[in-house]
Amino acid sequence: MMRFKEIEYNCSMELTLNIIGGKLKPIIIWHLGKRTMRFNELKRSLPNITQKMLTQQLRALEDDELINRIAYNQVPPKVEYSLTSYGRSLLPILANLCDWAIDYSNTVEEKNMLKEKI
């Protein structure tokens, strides 16, 4: 058992998935791994996400100290998002997941092609 932010988890995988789980958080982290981005840049790079959902995900990632949010005091407002050192530490893990997905996809496709030939 472990405890984080007043929540008890049975194992570290539960905590991991709570922090970076879902289909959007890892993609946001991946995009921010390339460079610092403004809100609308992130929105354009994730065309199927609503503004509300992106805002919620960014706030959660900020609360978990995976991203930095810098608001500049100017008109029009300017806000930039970047990865913290914790966020950057996830990039090799996400790269491994991408490699796994490519290998998995290729293997499944090869098996399906063999089945079709039979």
Judge whether 17 lies within some domain. Answer: no
Host domain of residue 81: 23-117
* Residue 118 pLDDT greater than 70, yes or no: no
Judge whether 10 lies within some domain. Answer: no
The number of distinct structural domains making up the chain is: 1
Tell me the CATH number at 78.
Answer: 1.10.10.10
Q: What is the pLDDT of residues 21-46, one digit of tens each?
A: 888 999 999 999 999 999 999 999 99
In the chain, helix, strand, coil percent, each to 5? Answer: 60, 15, 25
Rounded to two decimals, the pTM is 0.86
Closest C-alpha to 30, from 97, 101, 106, 100: 97
The pLDDT value recorded for residue 99 is: 95
